[in-house]
Structure formats: C-alpha cells, structure tokens
Amino acid sequence: MSVFKAPLEDTKYLINEFLDTSELKGSPSLLELTPDVTDSIFDEAGKISENLLFPLNRSGDEEGCSISNGKVTTPTGFKEAYKEMTESGWGSLTCKEEHGGQELPHYIANAVDETIVASNLSFSIYMGLTIGAYNAIERFGSDELKNKYLPHMVSGKWSGTMCLTEPQCGTDLGLIRTKALPQDNSSYLISGSKIFISAGEHDLTENIIHLVLARTPNSPDGIKGISLFLVPKITSDEQNILLDSNHVTCSAIEHKMGIKASSTCAIEFESSEGYLIGSLNKGMKAMFVMMNSARIHVGIQGLAIAHASYCGAVDYAKERLQGRALTGTKSQNQSADSLIVHPDVRQMLMTMKAYTEGARALSTWLSFKLDVSQEADDPQVQQNADELVSLLTPVFKSFLTDIGEIVSSLGIQIYGGHGYIRENGMEQYLRDARICRLYEGTNGIQALDLVGRKLPAHMGKYLRHFFHPLSLFIETHKEDEQLSAFIQPLAKSFSRLQVATLTIAQKGMSNPNEAGAAATDYLKLFGLVAMGYIWSQMAEQIIHNKGTLSDDFYDAKLKTGQFYMERILPQTGSLLSAIMAGAESTMALKESQF
C-alpha cells in the first residue's frame, strides 16, 4: 500500500526562511502570521489530510460516484469528511471575513491546499470549485447576490461550480449555444446543455450554485456576446430558505480514467432562473477570474500528486529488498539490499524529489506574488506583480502538471510490477494526474497563450518582470564560487531561453505556425529555467543566510538542487535545438498523409 506524509518541514522552510515577504511588510494580516501561527495551521492541515482524507483516497477511487434519477451519490465517507472540513474552515481560507472566511493570503492557503490535494485529489475538487465560484461572485456580483449566496458558500452549506464546456465547444467558447432570456424582474431564464462540469451534482451540500456562460438574444457573435449568470440548483427566498427545484438536472456522470470520486456531470438547464454576474456580454472577463485562479490551483494539483507519489516511492524503495549494491553488500543480515541502493532507483527518486521540491518553492513564490498583486500599497508594485503572475500562470499550470505525470509514472516504475497493481495505490496517482494536463485549458492551449498573448503583450513588458530580476541575480552572484554549481547552469539555460524568445518573436511575425510549432517546447524551456532560478535562490539563501533547521535538511536541499542543475536543467539544450529547427517538418505532411 502507498503511504502519505504531509510535506510539513519543507513547507515551513519555504514560508519561514526562503520567502521574502518584504513587498507586503506593512500588511496587517502578515503581521499576525507569525511562524508559530502558520506552523500550527500547517500541522493541523497535515493531521486532517493524513488521518481523514488520505484513508478515503483509494476507497473513493474504487467506489466512485453513482447516479440515480438525476441524483449523484459520492463515495462512502465523503459526506462526513466534507462536513468536518467545512465546519473547521478548511474550505474558506482565502474568503473574506465578512462572509465567514479566514482571509488568509494565498501563499499560506495554497500551501495548505497542496497538502489537502495530495491526500485526496477527488475530494479536494468539491471545495476548490466553490472557492472559484466565490471569487467570481465576490468580484463581479451585485451586493444583493453577494449577501445572499456568499456566506452559505463559505460555510460549506452550499457549493459552487463553473459551467463553461458544451458538447460542441471546449476551448473555443465562442461556439457556446446556451441561451439566457431576460425577464421583467431582472432575472434571466437559462436554457442549454453543459458537459464536463466538475462537482455539478452531489450529495455533500443542500444547494449548488452554478456559474453559467450563456448568450442573450441579439448578442454579438463569438466570445464578445457571452455573459455570466448565477443559477442556483434550488431557488430560495429572502431568508435563504430553500423553495423549489430550478429545473437544473444532472443527466449523466462521466466514467473517467481517474478522479473517479469527483462527480463530473452533464447538466441540463431548462428555463432555469439565473442572475447576471458583471456586465452584459462581459462574461469572459468575469469567468477568467475563476479560470486564472483555477489554473494556478491545477498547477498545485500537479505538484500535490507528485508529492503523494514520491511519498509512496521513497517508502517502498527503503523497504523492498532486491539485489545487492554494485559496490558491495550493504545489509549483511538481510537476504538482499533495499532498492534505494541502486543508482537507477536513486536517479528516479532524485528526479522526483528535485521536481517536487522545486515545484513547491515555485508555488510558494508565485502565490506570494499573487498576494502582492492584490494587497501591495503601491499601485505600481501591484501592477508589476499582476503582470508577472499573468505571464507565469500558463507556465505554472502546464509545467507543474507535466511534472505530476512524470513523477507519478516514475513512482510506478520504482514499484516495478507491483506499481501496476491497483491494490498498491501507485497507479491511481498516474490516472488522477492525467486530467491535470487537460482541464482548465489543455497544456497546448497554455503554451499558445504564452507565446501568442503573454510574450507580445505591451511590447514584451510582461516578460521583463521575469527576465530582469533573473539577469540581475546571475550578474550579482556570477563571481560567487560557493554558488558556481548553480549560477553557471542557470546562466546557460537563461541564455537559451533568451535566444528561443527572440527566435519565436521574429519567426512568428511572418509565419504564425512557427510560433505555434515551438510553443510547447518553449513553455517547457521557460518552466525549467524558472525552476532553476528558484533552486538557485534557495541555494543562495541556505549558503549565505541559513536558518535554524537541521544541517541534514540544508545538506539534502543543496544536493537535491545540484542534481536538478546537473541532470534536469540541461534539457533546455535539446528544447532550444527543437525550437530552432522551425515548423517546416511539423507542417510538412499533407492531411491525407496522416
């Protein structure tokens, strides 16, 4: 059986020692978040993840969700766990206090989310969708809608969804057909079909609040004519007493490769009463609040699955006896040595560890920049952080979900044939991880967003928020012999990223296929460099300003970082070669030749 242990020591190191929070040094909330406070939050999150959620992970996968007469039943134990989690406030960490939330910064809440997701991805989706819906309503909804719906969503009494996809459209939301007919009382009647709706129907809450993209009569074609509507599953009166069905029906649940304990639904709206969120025909603007938040959260899902798989792989590699070490017997009293003595197994474990710890540090850093973009006193500092987060969101979502699949696949490999057997729990991680590269915009779409929108935005302004600090870091530390194992590989990879950026910008102007063919390789190159930058910053902090953790912790951190710089970061060379080859071979075949 796989095992799970919350990443408490690494999380506390990142929050208490690595992260520079000076950009928000005047924030009242940060002044209250002393290490004692945050450590207690992480400790409690670890306990509830290990003891409540992880034991439901495999059983939930085996049992899955079921549907009868349009009603979905979640796996055994989920309803009780959801009640305990929401009553304890774990589902409302970033929500405003006026609605009953904790109003914690994202860098704290996202660290907690990693632990919760790692213990049970399917379960976490129910709470995650509600937070996404909360964010959109809180930012764009009227005061009346906020007061009516948000407190119940924060308490966990009601949950939320985002309803975008339809049978004929996924990424291309301009093809949406769901209709919204205006009524005399300022409401709308929503009619249409939505598919792939996570947490669209379940038995965890008494009501579900759907945020639905739809078109009003005579609206402009394409995405310019899409509006966003709040559609409750069940209507309620002014005192929020539930009244009648709102003609929202779950017609089916999907039978999926993974996340089987998360209900993925087909939802039918039949003249369902809805209320406009934001401005008419500006639904995409409001929905992107949910989607951008969700993309960061999906990146964290990739990290979380990687951590869970690593936990299982390390435990097995230490316990499983197979063969003898190449340099001589290590366990004289055993019939064989443990797997962890073998270089091939070590290389897989080091790859898993380097990717996972690097992703966790990148998540902590980017989550704090998200807080800066919303909380900094200086408007210019806010804007700069917002542009950096916008640039890195597609990189973060794609690169970390790629890591989730890579690491969970390596976890199976370390188990050998036993990893392929369901009862050992490792193959579930790979099945669960696979969806993360698909939903909230496939990784290919994220790559196109990066090269087609983020790079050229404002003449490359977004890019400068990442390139300039990275260049300054290299220049500042280039003569530091203690950091040479980090700075030299980082400088080489950054140079490759700069060359790739210039090449795509130049070729893409004359032939868009050049940018399109290079996009995925470029995004991965960008992700590798960003993680190398984070590993180098951690090394600099440990070497020159070590904290109070054990010497063994810091030694392991530096050695893991050096492995990343020597064995993983060099992938940037082959990626640059592929990018420089251009689009010709990619586009060479006629359609009939496939």
Q: Which residues are catalytic?
A: 440
CA–CA distances in Å: residue 237 to residues 130, 240, 478: 21, 5, 66
- Please state, as a whole number, how many other Cβ atoms lie within 10 Å of the Cβ of residue 503: 18
3-state SS class at 100: coil
Q: Which string of DSSP letters, residue by residue, matches 237-257?
A: -TT--EEEE-SEEEEEE---S
Report how far residue 38's alpha carbon sits from residue 11's, in angstroms, rounded to the nearest whole number.
10
Closest by Cα among 112, 291, 273, 284 to 198 = 291
Say if CB 372 and CB 507 are below 8 A apart: no
Residue 374's alpha-carbon distances to 24, 27, 378, 429, 469, in angstroms, are 10, 11, 10, 34, 21
* Residue 122 CB-density burial (10 A; 0-12 exposed, 13-18 middle, 19+ buried): buried
- For 4-20, give the DSSP string: ----HHHHHHIIIII--
Beta strand 207-215 with 158-163 is parallel
Report the sign of the C-alpha dihedral through residues 215, 290, 264, 429, in that order: positive
Q: What span, in angstroms and rounded, lies between the C-alpha atoms of 19 and 530?
A: 16
For residues 516 and 451, give the distance between their C-alpha atoms in angstroms, rounded to a whole number.
8
Q: CA-based Rg of the chain, rounded to a whole angstrom?
A: 24
Q: Look at strands 242-245 and 248-253 and give their pairing.
A: unpaired
Query: Residue 211 and residue 290: Cα distance in Å, rounded?
Result: 10
Burial classification of residue 472, based on how many CB atoms lie within 10 Å of its CB (0-12 exposed, 13-18 middle, 19 or more buried): exposed
